[in-house]
Amino acid sequence: MIRLTTKKFYITTPIYYPNRPPHIGSAYTTVIADILARYYESLGYEVFFLTGTDEHGMKLFKEAKNKGISPKEYVDSMVPFFKRAWESLDIRYRRFIRTTDPDHEETVKRIVMRIYEKGDIYKGVYRGLYCVECERYYTAKDLVDGKLCPIHLKPVEYLEMEVYYFRLSKYQDDLIRLYKENTRFVLPAERKQYLIRKIEEEGLKDVAITRPRWYLSWGIECPWDSDHVLYVWVDALLNYISGVGYINDREKFEKFWPPNVQLIGKDILWFHAVIWPALLMSAGFELPQTIFAHGFLTVNGKKISKSLGTDIDPIDLVNKYGSDTIRYYLARAIPFGEDGDFSEKDLVRYHNDELANEIGNLIYRVLTLTERYFGGITPEASRLTDIDKEIIGELRKHLNEYHNFMKNLQVHHAVMRTIMFAQTINAYLNKTAPWSCWKKGDKDSVARAIRNSLDWIYVLTAMMYPFMPRTADKISKQLGLDSIPRLSDVRLIGNIKPGHKLGEKEILFKKL
């Protein structure tokens, strides 16, 4: 029997703390994840894309207390902000996981129990420093001026309490081996080098993974000791297992595990590249293929924060510019992996120069020519000329590079190749000048230039789809197609048949 196996792609974002609505930083990770999910979907992979909210821990508990409501009421009231923002940005997640979901709580208990039974958890006393904003421990030398958290610049707390520890130190050699042998496990490569250096210099210490209930009750109960609740980070990391159906859809879990790409910001690298794989090794799960830690965004050169007014609401941006322009800008302007700055001035420039002038003009131009000379019907044309073949060679190079960049998570380069693909078609039109050929009565050359350009716009549409699904849909309609071309099906010639009637043309991007 022939078994058809479909390739799978499982991608995750961090689950965000719902103590404030999403901003352009959380939107950034989520948009890039959606771009990669749509890319693999268009290639014919079965895709599972997980995002959600991280709802336990001291930070959420304190915020709720300040508001005079229960933690659950509080998180329930905040989750819609995330769902609405992601909807406005056309984020097509397959599940929105909340760590208060019952199947998540059950999964967490089962997995930590497994780790406990293996002997990797023991009781001890924690004495040290903690930042509630980060929900993480610090040592004095990590702090700014000896007292402030290096990320939030707020004073840390001193904690002294009985806790259960996870034997992270036991996994030190396995982790170092993992980083060295599996070159794609942590990307970009500099981040991996940082981890190796830090672990080799300082050594791994065991990590506290519970809190006594007298200190914090808002969390998942520790399954072997009801006087403790689990540390919010252990609870949160395991969302990547529960979210893909570990308890409530075993078939899905078997199909998609392990994650292919886990996107995070560089702020949470330690949890994802050190604690997470160690927990998985201990519990006996296959490890994710790649943890990719991107850089941090500032807004007009300033840190994103409520007090500085830089916590821009993505929905406001979408209302002003449309989701495709925001998605395009985030993918295009910030080299994926590096820090970057978000500025509306730049966004407008990219919109005008690249979207309106290159892509919008190209499509309008080709549709206008088809209408003028062939009544909006794809013409029949004779064999390819040497110029056509040369251009096809160039386009093939851009398309191949586009795929290489997408697969290597160099999303910004893939966008560049899309623009270069459009520029090459524009240059082809200038070179073949169908309007002059028409004047000379060379109808065959006109037909060839138009037929080829339409075929290549078809490919361009498929390349644009992951970044700009709305625009890809509009172009497909203008081309008279029933659906958006898929990357798995496109060819460099022969996509659109002669006699095919195009749709109505329309300006794609108004200049801002």
Applying CB under 6 A, which residues contact ligand ME8?
14-17, 25-26, 28-29, 54, 236-237, 239, 264-265, 267-268, 296-297, 304
Q: What is the DSSP letter of 494?
A: -
Of residues 26 and 445, the one with the C-beta less far from ligand ME8: 26
- Shortest Cβ distance from residue 353 to ligand ME8 (Å)? 25
- CB nearer to ligand ME8: give 78 or 487: 78
Cβ atoms of residues 420 and 357 within 8 Å:
no
CA nearest to 369, candidates 460, 433, 419, 418: 433
Please provide the distance, in angstroms rounded to a whole number, between the alpha carbons at the two ends of the chain: 58
Q: Which of 329, 303, 292 lies closest to 314 in space, CA to CA? A: 329
Kindly state the smallest distance separating residue 297's Cβ from ligand ME8, in Å: 4
For 185-243, give the DSSP string.
Answer: SEESHHHHHHHHHHHHHH----EE-EEETTT--SSPBPTT-TTEEE-HHHHHHTHHHHT
Q: Please state the closest distance from residue 308 (CB atom) to ligand ME8, in A.
A: 12
Integer Cα distance of 218 and 56 in angstroms: 6
**Least distance in angstroms from the C-beta of 16 to ligand ME8:** 4
Report helix, strand or coil for 507. coil
CB of 275 to ligand ME8, least distance (A): 10
Q: How far is the CB of 102 from ligand ME8 (least distance, A)?
A: 18
Q: How far is the CB of 58 from ligand ME8 (least distance, A)?
A: 13
Cβ count within 10 A of residue 9: 19
Q: Which of 433, 404, 418, 393 is nearest to 475 (CA)?
A: 418
171, HSE (Cβ side, Cα atoms, 13 Å): 23
Indicate the residue among 271 and 456 with the shorter CB distance to ligand ME8: 271
CB closer to ligand ME8 out of 239 and 260: 239
SS3 228: strand
Closest approach, Cβ 313 to ligand ME8, in A, equals 14
Residue among 439, 487, 472, 481 nearest 324 (CA): 472
Q: Which two tokens stand for residue 179?
A: 């980083």
**Residue with CB nearest ligand ME8?**
25
CB of 38 to ligand ME8, least distance (A): 19
Pairing of strands 46-53, 136-138: unpaired
DSSP per residue, 405-452: HHHTT-HHHHHHHHHHHHHHHHHHHHHH-HHHHHHTT-HHHHHHHHHH
When the beta carbons of 89 and 502 are compared against ligand ME8, the nearer one is 89
Name which of 264 and 446 has its Cβ closer to ligand ME8: 264
Given the structure tokens 């259960």, which residue do they identify? 164
- What is the β-pairing status of strands 340-342 and 210-212? unpaired
Q: Rank residues 236 and 484 by Cβ distance to ligand ME8 and give the closer one.
A: 236
Nearer to ligand ME8, 10 or 16 (CB): 16
Q: Which lies closer to ligand ME8 via its Cβ, residue 28 or residue 61?
A: 28
